[in-house]
Structure formats: C-alpha cells, structure tokens
C-alpha cells in the first residue's frame, strides 16, 4: 500500500476533462445501421454533463472528503465554462487550469442504450495537444505540491503522461495511472505514442488501474487475480486494481490479492463507472484504509455511478449513496464542497522563494487550502521535507561546487573590491543573513536593496566589485533590473538560484545551483524548503571564504566583542593568556 501520502495536500490530476453530450437510444447502432434517440421524462433528447476520465475520478475522490485539483488546458468556449463551473461547485481546485483564448474544450458524444450498453465518441481538443514540454514548463510545481498525482492513458499523449509521472516521482509524490484503453488502441488508433512509451508509463506509476480490456492485452494469465499479480511484478507497481464490471474488481498490493464483488444495483448508465471506482480507490489510499476497505469503497463508488446519468457525482446524494453501500472503516464526514467552504482561499502562483506566499483571488474560486487534520503533523511534515531537500542538495554537490564563486570573490578582493548581496522577497532575508555572516567572518560585504538600486543606490557598487544575487526562480523583475544595471557598471554577478537556465543565471559569471523539488508546507507554496536550502548554500559560501583566508579565533573575537559569544571568546583568551 501507499504509505508516503502527505494528507495536508491535494490529489491533483491531468487528462480527459470534457462535457459528455449524452443521448439515450433504443440500441447501439453498428456499421450501416440506424437507431432512435429516446426522449427522457421531460421530453428532452440530450443531456450535457461535465465528465472525462480524469475529471470524473477527481470528482468522486472529492466526494469522499479528499481535496482535489485539476491541471491542464481548456478552451474559453461554452463547454470550457461549463466544466469550470462544475469544478467550482464540487470544490475541485482549478488554479492550475490554463484557459486558451479562441480554442475549444473537449467533449464526448455518449450513446446509452436501454440495456445500459454504450458507445462513446471523443473530441480530445487541447488535451491531445499537451506535450511533455508543457508539463515541465507550466505544471511541474503544481505536481510537486501534491499529495498524489493521477493521470490517464485515454486522451493525453504518452510523452505528456510520462513527463507527469517523472516529475512526481522525482519529487517523491505517489502516482496513479488510469489505463482506460488497451495498448493497441492507444498506439494504433488514438496515436498517443509508441508501444515503448506505453510500457514506460506503466513502469513509472505507483498505482496502475487498467480497465479489463486493457489488462487482457498487457499480460497473459489464466485469471484476473494472476493477471493483477503479473502486472504488479512486471512493472514494479505498489498497487494494481483491475475493474471487471459486473464481476467486481481485483486488487493486489503484492502482499495480498483480493476479489471485491460488485455491489448489487440496477444499472441505468455504466458510463464512467471505472472512473468512479478509481475515485473511490484514490480516496481509500488517501485516508489510509486497508486494502479490503479501499476496494469496498471503490466498488461502492462505481455502483452508485451506474445509477445516475453520466459519470459525474451528484452533490447532495452520491456521497450518501456510496456510504450506504460501503462496508468498512469510517471515512471523514465532510465532502469536498464542505471542505472548500471551511478552507481559506489561495491562489497557486508558484515562484518559490521570491513570491508572495498566498493571495485571495475572486478569479480562482476553486482554489481552496487542503484540509489539515493536524496542524502539528503539518509542522513535522514540513521539517521532514526540508531535511530531505537539504540532504538531496548536499548529495548533488561536487567537490568543486564553490570553487568558481570563490575564485571570483578572491580576485575582486585582491584588487580592493567588495561583495554586495541582493535579493527580493524571502530571498531578501536570506541575502541579509549572508551579508551579515560575511561581515562577521572577514569578508567586506554589504546588502543592496534591488528596489533602490536603479534609484541611485547602485552607486555603492564599484567597478570590479562582486554582487551575489539570490532568487529561487531567477526571473524576478526587480532583481533582474538591478542586476542589469550592476553588470553594466562593471560588477561581476554570482547567482544563487534554483534554475540554472533562468535569466539571472544567464547574466551571471558563476552559478550556485540550489535545486528544490517542492516547498515543505501544506500547500507546497510558502517558501520553506527553498529558503532553507538557499541559506545552507549561502552559509557554505561564507564558511568557504572564511577557511580560505585563514580566519582565526582571535579574528572572530575582534568582530564579536558583545553578547554571550563575545564573552565566551574573551574568557577563553584570558585562560590562554
């Protein structure tokens, strides 16, 4: 089972999010056949409901009390507006949705027969155009800030699926892959990618949920139980669940394999039953349920979905209907909409140590802070994540990490130059600490406020001086404007940044790269891990300079005559004298 889930964060996903345009028909027509569209009780012949593989299972996850969010591209058309409105009603965060002007959103035409058989025709729209580069450029920080990340093999190109799973894995975020279509359909019909891409996506996922048709093609086996176990061992998954419609589901975590029977319901529309199943499965994992209870919750969600038109849960009834069928340990009482109302609103504009922590915004009504079961636990998690970030930073440092920066500063000092430190936001505070540490350990250093730099204060920097500029993103406008002026006036720039390809890095003679996969707090937004790692590198630079100039205990005592530290040094001098 999945153990490393940070329950103070959201489950987020990317993939199919559409409007299902549903027609009830007397039967599913074959090639060259005709059939009839049937009116409902009100005489209407068409129903439009938000849906899509990923949005569906996130909506069912949210109904089970789990904070959820969707990321990706949508159009500014009527269907896009409808999808976003439904996300808001269900409390699904949409702050990482990028709306593209003049483009259409996805939709599916769903024909549902009286016997509940169905045929689905999908218009993938912008989902089909999403690339690995889009994922890495626009959505990587949102992925890193998640409790779990879910995606699909249905509409999203496989290179984008792989990028999502890789970013999450590198950040230590558990992943879920909904294999909605078989390999031959994904590769030969949908053109999502190659067979090798399909295999790689499965190897990168922690939780693999193939539909029955997909599972039959992925591995050969004599039973579904054996098939689940073979998928588990072949791809190194941590959990595999296969849905089999009326036969229920099979779930394995490598230690035990169980068959969970389907819940007895009269099916009205089986559209999205597998999506609802996955929503319940994710909720069970998030809440830490046993394997048996997780499977029971997943089956209950799938069963309730079969009772309603479309695949989207109904507010006010679907959750209660699920709990009436579910047999297992209690789950949190609040649904996602209630969690949204109770949580504080926050935007998800992630710029690391340089940005404001959070800001309320009427433009993103779906952006809710995840529910925190224990503030104390959130604090401990933050310390743990920061410790992990520091350990990973240190592991990636070579023995020559500081050498180029040291050489630049020593050359400047030899010619009578000085060191200046600058930064914006939280990086400003780290910069002030670095300047103070340098001053107290023998380096002539001063802090320069970048906001005042272009209003005369750049005069404190002489030609040949060194400027150490701190910025996690490396793209902060105020800082870049200051750096341009200082470089033009003859200063040499050293960057301490999280992005070695950023504008700041490109303007610098030396780069101290500080990679941080994600922040440590409940939302993954407030600069925490990034500032701690910045501070560690800044202190390392100061200590390297101190060691290089042979700074002695007596030197330190001259600079620190006051306070308990000064007294301790004086006492030791008197003892030695």
Domain endpoint, select from 283, 318, 342:
342
Pair (214, 121) in one structural domain: yes
Q: Are residues 338 and 396 in the same domain?
A: no
In a domain, 359, yes or no: no
Query: Is residue 358 a part of any domain in this protein?
Result: no
Per-residue pLDDT, 565? 57
Element (H, E) at 49: strand 47-51
- Do 107 and 224 sit in the same domain of this protein? yes
Task: Based on the fold, state whether residues 400 and 299 are members of the same structural domain.
Answer: no
Q: Domain with 486 in it: what CATH number?
A: 3.40.50.10490
Tell me if 440 is assigned to some domain. Answer: yes
Q: How confident is the model at residue 134, as a pLDDT?
A: 93
Average pLDDT over residues 535-556: 85
Last residue of a domain, one of 342, 364, 397: 342
The average confidence (pLDDT) of the chain is 86
4 within some domain: no
Does residue 468 share a domain with residue 335?
A: no
Are residues 284 and 337 located together in one domain of the fold?
yes
Q: Which of 289, 312, 342 is the last residue of a domain?
A: 342
- For residue 224, give the nearest of 262, 189, 198 by alpha carbon: 262
Instruction: State mean pLDDT over 368-377.
Output: 52
Q: What is the CATH number of the domain that holds 137?
A: 3.40.1190.20
**Residue 192 sits in the same domain as residue 276:** yes
Q: Quick check: 288 and 329 in contact, CB under 8 A?
A: no
At 101 the pLDDT is 85
Strands 239-243 and 207-210: parallel
Together in a domain, 395 and 323: no
Q: What is the pLDDT of residues 169-190, one digit of tens each?
A: 999 999 999 999 999 999 999 9
The residue segments making up the domain with residue 545 are: 380-564
- For residues 48 and 311, the answer to whether their CB atoms sit within 8 Å is no
Residues 351-379: what's their mean pLDDT? 44
Residue 347 domain flag = no
Give the list of residues 6+ apart from residue 240 with CB closer than 8 angstroms, or none. 207, 208, 209, 210, 228, 229, 231, 232, 251, 252
Instruction: Compute the distance between CA of residue 86 and CA of residue 400 in angstroms, rounded to an integer.
Output: 53
Q: Report residue 372's pLDDT band, with 50, 70 and 90 as the boundaries.
A: very low
In this structure, what are the phi and psi dihedrals at residue 157, rounded to the nearest 5 degrees?
-55, 145
For 84, the token pair is 């976003």
**Average confidence (pLDDT) over 351-375:** 38
User: What's the total number of domains in the chain?
Assistant: 2
**Domain check: are 311 and 405 in the same one?**
no
195 shares its domain with 290: yes
410 with 325, same domain: the answer is no
- 194 domain residue, yes or no: yes
Would residue 516 count as lying in a domain?
yes
Residue 134 lies in a domain: yes
* Spatial contact of 61 and 283, defined as CB atoms under 8 Å apart: yes
How do residues 445-483 score in pLDDT, each as one tens digit? 999 999 899 898 999 999 999 999 999 988 888 899 999
């Amino acid at each position: 089972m999945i153990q490393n889930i940070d329950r103070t964060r959201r489950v987020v996903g990317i993939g199919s999010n559409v409007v299902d345009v549903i027609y009830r028909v007397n039967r599913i027509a074959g090639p060259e056949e005709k059939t009839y569209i049937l009116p409902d009780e009100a005489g209407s012949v068409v129903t439009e409901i938000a849906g899509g593989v990923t949005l569906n299972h996130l909506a069912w996850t949210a109904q089970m009390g789990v904070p959820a969010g969707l990321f990706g591209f949508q159009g500014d058309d009527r269907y896009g507006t409808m999808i976003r409105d439904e996300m808001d009603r269900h409390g699904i965060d949409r702050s990482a949705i990028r709306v593209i002007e003049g483009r259409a959103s996805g939709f599916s035409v769903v024909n549902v027969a009286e016997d509940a058989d169905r045929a689905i025709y999908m218009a993938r729209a912008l989902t089909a155009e999403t690339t690995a580069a889009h994922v890495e450029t626009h959505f990587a920080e949102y992925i890193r800030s998640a409790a779990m990340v879910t995606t699909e093999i249905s509409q999203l190109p496989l290179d984008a699926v792989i990028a999502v799973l890789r970013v999450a894995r590198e950040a230590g975020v558990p992943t879920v892959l909904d294999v909605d279509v078989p390999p031959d359909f994904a590769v030969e019909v949908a053109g999502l990618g190659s067979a090798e891409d399909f295999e790689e996506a499965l190897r990168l996922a922690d939780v693999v949920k193939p539909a029955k048709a997909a599972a039959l093609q992925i591995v050969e086996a004599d039973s579904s139980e054996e098939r689940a176990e073979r998928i588990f061992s072949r791809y190194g998954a941590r959990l595999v669940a296969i849905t089999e419609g009326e036969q229920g589901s099979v779930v394995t975590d490598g230690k035990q394999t169980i068959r969970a029977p389907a819940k007895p319901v009269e099916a009205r529309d089986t559209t999205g039953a597998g999506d609802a199943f996955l929503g319940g499965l994710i909720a069970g994992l998030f809440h830490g349920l046993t394997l048996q209870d997780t499977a029971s919750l997943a089956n209950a969600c799938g069963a309730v979905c079969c009772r309603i038109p479309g695949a989207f849960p109904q507010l006010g009834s679907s959750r209660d209907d699920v709990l009436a069928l579910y047999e297992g340990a209690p789950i949190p009482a609040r649904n996602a909409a209630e969690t949204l109302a109770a949580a504080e609103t926050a935007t998800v504009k992630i710029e690391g140590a340089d940005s404001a922590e959070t800001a309320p915004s009427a433009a993103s009504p779906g952006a809710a802070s995840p529910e925190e079961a224990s503030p104390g636990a959130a604090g401990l998690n933050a310390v743990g994540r920061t410790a992990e970030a520091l350990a990973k930073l240190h592991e990636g440092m070579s023995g020559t990490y500081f050498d180029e920066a040291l050489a630049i500063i020593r050359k400047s000092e030899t010619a009578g130059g000085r060191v200046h430190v600058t930064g914006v936001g939280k990086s400003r505070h780290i910069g002030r600490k670095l300047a103070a540490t340098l001053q107290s350990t023998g380096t002539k250093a001063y802090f320069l406020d970048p906001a005042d730099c272009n209003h005369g204060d750049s005069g404190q920097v002489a030609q040949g001086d060194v400027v150490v500029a701190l910025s996690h993103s490396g793209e902060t406008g105020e800082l870049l404007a200051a750096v341009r002026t200082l470089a033009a006036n003859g200063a040499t720039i050293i960057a301490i940044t999280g992005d070695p390809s950023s504008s700041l890095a490109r303007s610098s003679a030396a780069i101290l790269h500080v990679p941080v996969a994600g922040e440590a707090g409940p939302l993954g937004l407030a600069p925490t891990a990034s500032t701690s790692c910045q501070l560690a590198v800044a202190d390392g630079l100061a200590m390297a300079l101190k060691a290089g100039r042979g700074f002695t205990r007596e030197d330190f005592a001259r600079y620190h005559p006051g306070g308990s530290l000064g007294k301790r040094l004086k006492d030791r001098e008197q003892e030695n004298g």
